[in-house]
Structure 1
Amino acid sequence: MCSGLVAFLCLISVSLTAKVKWVPNTNFNLKLNFKDGRLPCPRQTVVFPESLNGIVSIETKAVVGGFVLPQDGELVFGDGDLQFGSSENSNCTETGNVYFLENSVSSWAQPDVWSSPKFNEATPDAERVPCFDDTVEFPTGSVFTISLPDEQQVVRDIKINGVSYDTRTFIDYVLHQRDQAQQFILNQYQETGIFITNKQCKSRSGCPCQVNVMRIDCSAKICSVPTCIDPIQPVGHCCKICGGVISFDVDQSFDLMTFKELVEAVIEGYGNEDLVYHIGKIENKIQLVVVNKGEYTGTSAEVVNDVNNRMQRHWVQGVKEAAISGSPLYKYGLGGKIFVSMFFAVVLVMGGVYAYYYKLPEIRLPIDIAGRPGMLSRYQRRTDSVVSLTRRDSVITTRSGISTAFRNPMYDSKRGRVVVEATADD
């Protein structure tokens, strides 16, 4: 089992052929390389780290207020044009410093270093890697340093600056690389750890993304705060999420396509286009994760619960586990506000009743009865007549046979009272 500070890439995906691109790039004109995730404004000063381990490339026009250069490092100007000072046509008016972040060395198995159309919000971090039937692409003009995997990974093709490589030519490229802007670091065994071949999946129960399991360092992942009560953490996710998950053991007779059709039918039945799902496989275990694309509404949890109830028993060959997150925080907060409001409203009403009957002093008012001035000796907020809601001898019998009675709590008031009794004429 995988555990400890280093999170695992334990779940391997049911793979579909796709293009997977390498993301890290020290190009100056990329938003991700700045601390606030935005390119600098013409009036802002760009502050570089004290030391740059790699090369920072300026490929397109850049307009900044100024540079605070590193003590040690290298900036390369390609076809880009660097201009200092504000631009009259710029709509950006922010000032101050903006910080350039150098991601000098990244790992093949690091979170969020790959992008692909097949990835969505439900895809675990452990499965956001190239699979055995994927084409790996390192974009033209990108600047990076990558540590190659320790465990051998199988891919369909590797393209570097638009040129395809097989296993032999890729090894030769890494060993004799001349492009200083793009550096590949051999693994601890002094190998590339990459095997390039055209492999096909022929199992009806699906194939794992990679046979050899890698590890992902989740300490490099920035997790957002879940917007639900009791968030879940599916296998392979570095962060807790809102939604639902089902995992179960299968054998070779399991039909992955039939299960996928069930999931899609349930989602379509909810009529919600704001749902995405991911089906992954490790060894003989299938995992389904369903989440909302945007704000969590609870629908994804309902879908997982529905799928769990509709699954056929013979699909599961061992243990089946399902988990769903709770209500959205905004609904939970609304319920709490209503409860607090009602509580204080009840307290205020009861306090008002108590003060009305027992705490207010007697009020004496001058009156004129039959033209003679005088004083009303007693004026109270309530009448001195108290009506007993039930007689002392009346009882209410419950279904359990226990006798009980209800009496007006004001019946035994110390003040005078008039008892109104029922008569035969009533």
Structure 2
Amino acid sequence: MLTAAFILSLYCHVAGGLHREWLPDTNFNNASNWDKGKLPCKNNRILFSKDQELAVFVQTPIDVKEMYVPLDGEFILGHGAELAASDGHRAPGCETGEEVTFKDPDHYSWYDPKNWQTSFSAIGLGQDQHAFPLDEETVPCQHDDVVFQPATSFRVDLNSDAQNIHLQTISLMNKRYSSSEDFLEYRESHTGRLQFHGNGSVTVTNTKCEDRSGCQCGNSRNLRRICVNLLQGGHCPELDCVNPLKPQGHCCEICGAIIYLKYDGKFNLELYKGHLINSFLGLDDYKDVRISLTKVDTQHVSKAALPNNALASIQTVLVDGASSTATGTSAARLAEDILADITRQGDVFGIVSAEVQMTTSDDEPGNMSAGTMAGIGIGVLLAALSTAGLAATFTSPRIRVKIPSAFVNVKNDLNRYAAFNVDGGFSNPVFDPQVNLSPDLCSTGEDAINIVPSQLGSYITNPMFNPHGFGEQEC
């Protein structure tokens, strides 16, 4: 059963977006803004680069003996703050004439996840321990509310590979902006020009995500910038699994599983996420597995799993905890359980089909590898297939099978097939070349489903399509 707190979190996430707080500042009283890592004292020489363009917020009274200020800048004095001439008297720990320089803040990029904090305090909830964000989602998405804390100054690099940065609202200097026109007026002010620089334009839509199947984050065109800032010139960590997977919206490959869902009008992204968390992630076997559910475009999804006019699908990413050394075996097992759950009750949630990719660890060759992709339709035939039958399903040249509103399309690579050792296993009528199919299962009508092989990877000849058995021509 979904808890009241979880339902509240679903509402806040879907209807109102997330609250994103900008972290860096250009405050005078922040020791990290100075090259010595400490605040200047009354006998220091305070240096700002003459070419710096910035606003500096002063929170307390400051005694100044000597200060060099930028040609284009401003000091914003908080309540009770002032700049006063120093009396010049010696003070312990304050060397006369010591230079203290204000650091250059121009490197603080909008697309650097380290500069943002997702605030759950605004809705009174803690971050879900089972969820993790894709890298694309670690900076503000198009339906989020952005907050710059009052009584602070800042400088943000808005350089972007997309023309516009879309937000729901943006709050700064104790004012909330809910339209592009109002915010543009602020940005074109002298203070606004000092606080925001770069080629990006901020579009404030005041629009919530009204689609219960979810809304895309909208940062895909700037994923390159996000990844550069995350990796800081380094490389993705080495992974302890075979053929790691690359989720859409993520910088590095992962060990675990990715499930792509095709859905109909009944599908509710957050309710289905709640179902997975309550039904699976609370179990001891999966308590360390983390999940991400996002709407993505279909450019990386198998065309066999989606209709020609599909614009988006739901990407479910499963990983083992937060460790980069995790093998993903628990996540892969959970993916198999989720697929079994979809065959039982996927239609209840509005899921029409699913396609899964899994990795396997070096010491577990029997698990499904990244080359293994399974597409599962919700229908009569699926209900009749056992879990073992699904595990050893087929890759075929082409066959037409009459399955009411559903299809099955499971692809296995050569290593996976060898690990199964089908010969000597259970007797499965689906793979018996001598089986006689009922004429009712063969069709050439509009409801016939094509099962077409992928052009990727290495595949084996499946006994179900033994030329000495039955073939498409017999239908």
Aligned to 1:201: 210
Aligned to 1:258: 272
Task: Give 1:20 deviation, angstroms.
Answer: 1.2
Aligned to 1:102: 104
Aligned to 1:147: 158
* Aligned counterparts, 1:232-381, within 5 A: 233-239=246-252, 244-253=256-265, 254-256=267-269, 257-270=271-284, 276-283=290-297, 284-291=312-319, 298=326, 301-311=329-339, 312-313=342-343, 315=351, 317=353, 319-323=355-359
Distance 1:33 1:152, change over 3 A: same
Normalization by structure 2: what TM-score? 0.48
Q: For residues 255-282 of structure 1, what are the alpha-carbon distances to aligned partners after superposition, in whole Å with 9 as ceiling and x for unaligned?
A: 4323541244322102776654322211
Distance 1:265 1:59, change over 3 A: farther
Normalization by structure 1: what TM-score? 0.52
Aligned to 2:375: none
- Contact 1:151 / 1:213 at 8 angstroms: preserved in 2? no
Aligned to 2:183: 170
Distance 1:134 1:105, change over 3 A: same
* Aligned counterparts, 1:187-198, within 5 A: 187=199, 192-198=201-207
C-alpha distance in structure 1 between counterparts of 2:51 and 2:294, whole Å:
39
C-alpha distance in structure 2 between counterparts of 1:291 and 1:81, whole Å:
53
Instruction: Please identify which structure carries the higher helix content.
Output: 2
C-alpha distance in structure 1 between counterparts of 2:238 and 2:229, whole Å:
22
Aligned to 1:138: 148
C-alpha distance in structure 2 between counterparts of 1:209 and 1:75, whole Å:
35
Aligned to 1:376: none
- Contact 2:137 / 2:219 at 8 angstroms: preserved in 1? no
- Contact 2:295 / 2:315 at 8 angstroms: preserved in 1? yes
C-alpha distance in structure 2 between counterparts of 1:181 and 1:211, whole Å:
24
* Aligned counterparts, 1:75-94, within 5 A: 76=75, 78=77, 79=81
C-alpha distance in structure 2 between counterparts of 1:196 and 1:41, whole Å:
40
C-alpha distance in structure 2 between counterparts of 1:15 and 1:224, whole Å:
37
Aligned to 2:399: none
Once the two structures are overlaid, the 10-residue window that deviates more, 274-283 or 53-62, is: 53-62
Task: Give 1:165 deviation, angstroms.
Answer: 1.6
- Contact 1:22 / 1:139 at 8 angstroms: preserved in 2? yes
* The one of 115, 118, 121 aligned to 1:116: 118
Which of 1 and 2 has greater Rg?
A: 1
C-alpha distance in structure 2 between counterparts of 1:62 and 1:326, whole Å:
62
- Percent sequence identity is 20
Distance 1:220 1:154, change over 3 A: closer
C-alpha distance in structure 1 between counterparts of 2:352 and 2:34, whole Å:
48
Task: Give 1:116 deviation, angstroms.
Answer: 0.8
Distance 1:194 1:108, change over 3 A: farther
Task: Give 1:23 deviation, angstroms.
Answer: 2.8
Distance 1:208 1:50, change over 3 A: same
- Contact 2:30 / 2:39 at 8 angstroms: preserved in 1? no
SS in 2 for 1:235: coil
C-alpha distance in structure 1 between counterparts of 2:101 and 2:253, whole Å:
29
Aligned to 1:53: 52
Aligned to 1:22: 22
SS in 2 for 1:201: coil
* The one of 202, 205, 210 aligned to 2:218: 210
SS in 1 for 2:357: strand
SS in 1 for 2:25: coil
SS in 2 for 1:123: coil
Partner AA of 2:205 in structure 1: I
C-alpha distance in structure 2 between counterparts of 1:46 and 1:23, whole Å:
28
C-alpha distance in structure 2 between counterparts of 1:17 and 1:39, whole Å:
36
C-alpha distance in structure 2 between counterparts of 1:220 and 1:116, whole Å:
18
Q: For residues 131-176 of structure 1, what are the alpha-carbon distances to aligned partners after superposition, in whole Å with 9 as ceiling and x for unaligned?
A: 343221122212213326534344322212120123221122223x
C-alpha distance in structure 2 between counterparts of 1:301 and 1:69, whole Å:
59
Distance 1:299 1:271, change over 3 A: farther
SS in 2 for 1:21: strand
Task: Choose between structure 1 and 2 for higher RCO, CA contacts under 8 A separated by at least 6 residues.
Answer: 1
Partner AA of 2:315 in structure 1: Q
C-alpha distance in structure 2 between counterparts of 1:293 and 1:29, whole Å:
38
SS in 2 for 1:207: coil
C-alpha distance in structure 2 between counterparts of 1:137 and 1:228, whole Å:
36
Distance 1:207 1:214, change over 3 A: same
How many residues in Structure 1 have an aligned counterpart in Structure 2? 297
- Contact 2:53 / 2:70 at 8 angstroms: preserved in 1? no
Distance 1:87 1:232, change over 3 A: farther
- Contact 1:245 / 1:324 at 8 angstroms: preserved in 2? no
Q: For residues 276-316 of structure 1, what are the alpha-carbon distances to aligned partners after superposition, in whole Å with 9 as ceiling and x for unaligned?
A: 43222113232233456665684965144313333224646
